Amino acid sequence: MMKRLALAVWFLMAAAPVWAQGASPTPAVEDKPRQILEQTIQALGGPQYLSVRDMVREGRIYGFDRGELSSPGDKFLNYVKFKGKERVEFGKKGRIVYLNDNEEGWELDKQGIRDQTPESIETFREGLRRDLDYVLRFRLQEEPVQLYYLGTEFVDNRRAHAIEMVDERQESLVLYIDARTYLPIQVRYKHRDVLSGEFVEVVEYYGKWISVQGVQTPMAVSRERAGRRYFEAYFTSVKYNAGVDDALFTRASLEERWKKVK
């Protein structure tokens, strides 16, 4: 069960609050970083990208322990409905399910259904704030964030624009955008380690981009924490605007599933 929970962390975006460390660079002109991010949105599909309201994804997710592969890969089915609804099912029959609907959350496993703890729900909510899609689709449009252009760097052997975003809570993340294609390469931020209490760097990688329904989509996503890989996910299928029903994100839907698998 703990292994399954660890594997679900990527979807539930588990991370402690991120805080800007030290003094931020002086924003010479915010127009440049915002212009680059607008080009990124256009590269991702422009209106097609921004019009996505839900998605259904299938694939495999792999866990790592101290940088070493620790799981053979679990099949998953992931439903997302903007904003704030997410359901992740593991196994052929979906016997393990993690379900969140903004301030509510539940889990299903072989023991039955239980409410998520307030801490788990808050972790999910905080994770949404760092999710690439939420940043580009919503936060840039709806929140008073500050953008800083940090220059260019070579990232994964590609020249990339580095842009820092700082919000009203002084939480910071840095996006690395391919200077040629304007597709995202990485997102970096810091979070406080639960055990040590120290801030450690988290890096998310995006790769294997393909066009799905006119939307550029990364079919491979991975994450490192403190320099060690701790999960990889590979999508085999992605569908946008599939008409995902709100009923999927209710406790009643888990009760129906429990009747079938218990």
Read off the pLDDT of residues 99-116 as tens digits, 9 standing for 90 and up: 999 999 999 998 999 999
* Per-residue tokens: 194: 């639960």
Structure tokens belonging to residue 19? 């805080």
- What domain range includes position 135? 2-261
> Mean pLDDT lowest for which of 55-59, 67-71, 102-106?
67-71
Q: What is the CA radius of gyration of the chain?
A: 18
Query: Tell me, what's the pLDDT at 195?
Result: 64
On whether the CB atoms of residues 190 and 198 are closer than 8 A, the answer is no
214 has pLDDT over 70 = yes
Is 66 a residue whose pLDDT tops 90? no
Per-residue tokens: 56:
């259904």
**Neighbouring C-beta atoms of residue 26, cutoff 10 Å:** 6
- Pull the structure tokens for residue 244: 């995902």
**What local confidence, expressed as pLDDT, does residue 227 receive?**
85
User: Structurally, how many domains does the chain consist of?
Assistant: 1
Structure token pair of residue 89: 């099912």
- Report the pLDDT value the prediction gives residue 13, as an integer from 0 to 100: 43
Q: Which residue has the higher pLDDT, 97 or 193?
A: 97
Q: Which segments of the chain does DSSP mark as H helices, in order?
A: 2-12, 31-44, 47-50, 118-130, 132-134, 140-142, 251-261
136 forms beta bridges with none
- For residues 228-234, give the mean pLDDT: 88
Which two structure tokens, joined as six digits, stand for 79? 């439903």
Q: What is the CATH number of the domain that holds 144?
A: 2.50.20.10
At 16-27, the pLDDT tens digits run 333 333 434 444
Asked if 121 contacts 99 with a C-beta cutoff of 8 angstroms, the reply is: no
Q: What is the pLDDT of residues 134-170, one digit of tens each?
A: 999 999 988 899 999 999 999 989 999 999 999 988 8
Mean pLDDT of the region 241-249: 96
Residue 215 pLDDT > 90? yes
